[in-house]
Amino acid sequence: MAKTSSFTFVLLLFLLATSVCAITAEKEDIWHKSQGFPDAMMGTWQVSKVRIDKGATRKTLYEWDDPRLLGRILTISHEAIQSDLPEDRQCLQPRALFRQMDLSPLIQVTLPGMYERTAADALADYELPLNLNQPANVAWINCHTGSFGPELLESWAKKLSLPEVRTWLINLDKDKFALLWYDQTVLLFVRIANEQKTRPSFACTMARSITEKALCQSISLASFDASIAQAYKLVLENHCVGVPGCRSQQQKKQAAWTKKRDQCGTGAQCLTDAMRSRLEQLMVIQSSAD
């Protein structure tokens, strides 16, 4: 009896090890089948629009043109995908599994609504500039180290006949692409030209402090500053409506935060962390007004 139990245990270990090896081999096979990003995708990109399902009846993670995402910077190179997005800021040795696909099933599977709807209805709810009448070259992103974007649900992958991959990226033209982000949010990116000027919430010709001058010298920092100004405006317009003393209270808090931010001087990481934290605080307040 003891010998039988031992044999059964060894057999189970063997089967488990075989399964793990098979899964590992499959992942490695997917990695080798995928390709590096083409040179045309190299460069710096910026989120120009944030799209969510306007037909959603639940509370979504992000809002339409959410300041936490709008304006964020993404840099693609052969070595890495790096961003200042709230999630997944680094993907080393990025590769993509390229597939030419019919967009209708892709949209219906990865952007499902609360109720069954057509792909055309989904595009209308998201206001996405995609053409359902022609196949699209879709890049499914993989990272050798790190991660980038939401992982495709297993059930979705089966419906689309795909292996284990993460988010999709669809080229709209040579200077624009759409990217599936978390909680079925879609980000629209535009390419940033090398000579593009920074656009903070204030005129750079009026910059006085060393911090304001630092913001004017960085597209990423300037975009964060603009996002905070937008989030602050939303708080005043939505959260403070009909609330006595709210505007003056929020103005004092914003002034106090600005003074604290300026203690970073020209430190890029310090400024980024301070502005990302403040942006999240403001959007929490804004969300409570919905």
Tell me: do 181 and 215 sit in the same domain.
no
Structural domain includes residue 8: no
Structural domain includes residue 19: no
Structural domain includes residue 196: no
Q: What's residue 9's pLDDT?
A: 45
Q: Above 60 in pLDDT, residue 134?
A: yes
Domain span at residue 175 reads: 36-191
- Could you tell me what percentage of the chain is helix, strand and coil, using 3-state DSSP and rounding each to the nearest 5? 45, 20, 35
Tell me: do 75 and 129 sit in the same domain.
yes
**Stretch (H or E) spanning 75:** strand 73-76
Q: From residue 256, how far is each of 174, 214, 276, 285 by CA, in Å? A: 43, 19, 16, 17
Answer for the pair 148, 141: CB distance below 8 angstroms, yes or no. yes
Which of 207, 206, 172, 176 shows the shortest CA–CA distance to 190? Answer: 176
Tell me: do 223 and 91 sit in the same domain.
no
What value does the mean pLDDT take over residues 153-167? 85
From 191, 220, 241, the end of a domain falls on 191
226/222 Cα distance (integer angstroms): 6
Q: What's residue 5's pLDDT?
A: 55
Tell me: do 128 and 266 sit in the same domain.
no
Q: What is the mean pLDDT of the chain?
A: 87
**What is the reported pTM?**
0.86
Q: What's residue 33's pLDDT?
A: 54
Q: What is the pLDDT of residues 106-121, one digit of tens each?
A: 999 999 887 788 999 9
The count of structural domains within the chain is 2
- For the residues of 176-226, what is the DSSP string, one character each? EEEEEEGGGEEEEEEEPPTTPPP--SS-GGG--SHHHHHHHT-HHHHHHHH
Tell me: do 106 and 68 sit in the same domain.
yes
Structural domain includes residue 169: yes
What value does the mean pLDDT take over residues 175-193? 96
Q: Above 70 in pLDDT, residue 152?
A: yes
Tell me: do 168 and 213 sit in the same domain.
no
Tell me: do 53 and 181 sit in the same domain.
yes
Structural domain includes residue 63: yes
Tell me: do 85 and 162 sit in the same domain.
yes
How would residue 34 be classed by pLDDT, with cut points 50, 70 and 90? low
Structural domain includes residue 184: yes
Answer for the pair 225, 257: CB distance below 8 angstroms, yes or no. no
Q: In percent, how much of the chain has pLDDT > 90?
A: 67
Structural domain includes residue 164: yes
